[in-house]
Chains A and B, each alone.
Chain A
Amino acid sequence: MTPAFFDTLRTPWLWLLVIIVASFPGWLSSYHLGIAILALLYVSLALAWNIVGGMAGQISLAHTVFIGMGAVVATALNLRLGLNLWFGLVLCAFGAAILGIFLALLDSRFRLAHLSFALITLAFAEIGELVVTGSDFLGGASGLYYPKAAGGLAQFNFGGSTGYLFAALVLALVCLLVNNAILASPLGFYLRALRDNENAAQAIGIPILRNRAVAMAISAALSSVVGTLYARYLGFVDPTQLASPTLVIEIVLIATIGGLGTPWGPLVAAAVLVPAGELLRGKFGGVLPGLHYFLYGVLIIVVVLTSPEGLVPRLASLLQAVRRKAGETP
């Protein structure tokens, strides 16, 4: 691990945040606790996606399949075959990784343009949704329901909201650390080189397939794990929610609004937008369903037109400008 990685670990802000979040069960209502859990799950999803979308610079809409794998397949294996969810989690993460590598293989073998890659991943996502809704084993169109919470941690049951909050927090931290680890490593460097100028990177000998496949595999596996936790937390799997392209588009939008340059972009964006969205949904959801999605859409349009690098970098540079101004007035 390079020094840069440990620098992140030493960031006081990060640990402050972790402590604050960990204290939530003490003073947040269960409704707000639920929102926090959801936010953390989305932070994890956004960070997992960022490995491919931000660092490798590839718009993958196939992540629905990875998330769905962890959510639907693991659940199905548990409910239908009695397979312990921890095993299911690992198995599905592995399966998702294989699928991710397969996609990276397709991309490299056929030298797909960004658009073609996005379309193929979208086609995979659509196929994935059709496979799920068409299979009774996987729950079909009606989904899968967990029977009332049985067993303890060994059965992947985290108990009440507190348990899931900690689980989601740990997972979010893991995703953040993985992001930073990659960023500070040769892999991260290669990915960004490939992202910024594929031809030049190739010319100096950076292997495309190996790096992208690794990134995809990690991203897919992480997404799958989050999927499993998400499903277990909700207690049921709704294929139109967890296996549909809408989910990954939502993640793409959130990550992009935050800014794809660093992990902090998707993290902050998810941490802010998801609770905001949920609160909006709570207030207006009955009258105006989809309001928060509508606003995400408006927000991304505004961001793309005014600050295409994302809001977090924009805010960061504003802060810097302010600090500089403050420093300039002696």
Chain B
Amino acid sequence: MDTLLLQTLIQGLLIGGAYALIAIGMCLTYNVSGIVNFAHGDFLTLGMFIAFGLQGAAALDPYISVAITLPLLAVLGALTYQYLLRPVARSHALVIIQLTLGLSFVLQNGLLMIFGGQPVRTPSAVEASILVIGDLFIRTPQLIAFSTSLTLTLVLFVVLGYTETGRRIRAVHQNPQAAALMGIDVPRVRTLTFAAGIGILAISGALLLPGTTIWPAQGLRFTVITLMALILGGMTDFAGVYIGALVIGVAEAVGTVYVAGTTGMILPYAIFILVLLLRPNGLFGRAT
């Protein structure tokens, strides 16, 4: 296979893996709350900026400051769900979209006010490190991101499928009323799962941070990528969502490498629109 193509594919898969974890986060929040959170990417950005800030203030490497950002985001997620989203969970889709768009604005511009609009980078110990295999270059941060996201997703998959807690979460997802009749505290399960979904973003943020520039308004872009991955993957299935994210990643890589400039970035969106129209139940076509 042509080296450039292989390199591009690998690049796409690696970045797709990083996106996948973000998408898994939304998979959790969406499936237990029924709410598509348009501010998802902004929570991610928040985590990234907190890590950036901690780096500047306390010289904490982003991989380490996760210990702080994770609980922080989880608590924020729980509060957001409890006080902002639960009250409108049964409202019209438009209302929920508007609410979460507003939340997105709040987060985005809150960050803007604190950090200013200039893109910033977080220096990290691993950012310059590159793995060379034959003719292929693999950036270490991306490899770490991919393997961490894969591992974490597998762990979550096992937890969801084979533990008591996971079973309860699945029950709440499949039939909340019946779950309540089993003695499951449904609101609590929902809040905790939502919190977990947002907490994961702290990890994703740390994985994406080394070597990349961030700016406060980038949230929407990530939200859209996440939504695309979710829809491609069929909304409910971890495996599907993971693959969906990989597809987006590869599409992005192929687009940017083979079509000059920013125009190449159109490819993922174009694919997404096509899939949404032709296979509204996702690439794997499972009707819910």
Q: Is the CB of A253 within 8 A of B105?
A: yes
Contact A115/B97 with A246-B217, A294-B113 known, Cβ cut-off 8 Å: yes
Q: Which of A73-81, A212-220, A299-307, A316-324 contacts B (4 or more CB under 8 A)?
A: A299-307
A245: which of B102, B220, B270 is its contact (CB, 8 Å)? B220
Within the complex, the shortest CB–CB distance from B141 to chain A, in Å, comes to 25
Q: B276 touching A301 by the CB < 8 A rule? A: no
B273 touches A308 (CB 8 A): no
Bound complex: CA of A258 vs CA of B108, how far in Å? 22
Residues 116-136 of chain A, each 1 if its beta carbon lies under 8 Å from chain B, else 0: 101110111011001101110
**Nearest B-chain residue to A53, judged by Cβ:** B94
Q: Which of A175-183, A184-192, A285-293 contacts B (4 or more CB under 8 A)?
A: A285-293
A130 to chain B, nearest CB (A): 5
Q: Which stretch (B55-63, B179-187, B257-265) binds chain A?
A: B257-265
B262, A130: Cβ atoms closer than 8 Å: yes
Q: Most chain-B Cβ atoms within 10 A of its Cβ — which of A245, A288, A290? A: A290
User: A293 vs B106: C-alpha distance in the bound complex, in angstroms?
Assistant: 7
- Do A134 and B94 form a contact, CB below 8 Å, given A290-B113, A301-B102? no
Find the residue from B84, B221, B269, B272 having the highest chain A CB count within 10 A: B269
The answer to whether B266 touches A131, judged by C-beta atoms less than 8 angstroms apart, is yes
> For the complex, what is the distance from the CA of A285 to the CA of B221, rounded to whole Å?
25
Chain A 233-263, CB-CB to B under 8 Å as 1, else 0, gives 0000000000001100110110010000000
Given A114-B93, A119-B227, A120-B273, A298:B87 Cβ within 8 A = no
Is B224 touching A253 in the complex (CB atoms < 8 A)?
A: no
Chain A 65-123 interface residues, beta-carbon cutoff 8 Å to B = 106, 110, 112-116, 118-120, 122-123
Q: Decide if A39 is an interface residue (CB 8 Å cutoff).
A: no
B175 CB within 8 Å of chain A: no
In chain B, positions 39-69 with a C-beta closer than 8 Å to chain A are none
Expressed in whole angstroms, the Cα–Cα distance for A116 and B276 within the complex equals: 8
Q: A residues touching B (Cβ–Cβ < 8 Å)?
A: 57, 59, 106, 110, 112-116, 118-120, 122-124, 126-127, 130-131, 133-135, 141, 245-246, 249-250, 252-253, 256, 288-291, 293-294, 296-301, 304-305, 308
Residues of B within 8 A of A112 (CB): 276, 280
Question: Does the CB pair B113–A291 fall under 8 Å?
Answer: yes
Question: 21 interchain pairs (CB within 8 A)?
Answer: A57-B94, A106-B277, A114-B94, A118-B97, A119-B276, A120-B276, A124-B273, A127-B269, A130-B263, A130-B269, A252-B101, A288-B113, A289-B113, A297-B108, A297-B109, A300-B99, A300-B101, A301-B106, A304-B88, A305-B84, A305-B87
- Do residues B117 and A289 form an inter-chain contact, with CB atoms below 8 A? yes
Of A106, A110, A116, A297, chain B has the most CB atoms within 10 Å of the CB of A297
CB-based contact A289/B116 at 8 Å: yes
CA–CA, A308 and B108, complex, Å: 23
Chain A residues contacting B159 (CB-CB under 8 Å) are: none
Q: Are A59 and B262 in contact (CB under 8 A)?
A: no
B276 touches A127 (CB 8 A): no
Residue contact A115 to B113, C-beta cutoff 8 Å: no
Residues of A contacting B216 with CB < 8 Å?
Answer: 290
Q: Given A249-B101, A300-B99, are A123 and B224 neighbors across the interface (CB < 8 Å)?
A: yes
Interchain CB contact under 8 A, A115 and B99: no
By a CB distance below 8 angstroms, the chain B residues around A123 are 224, 228, 269, 272-273
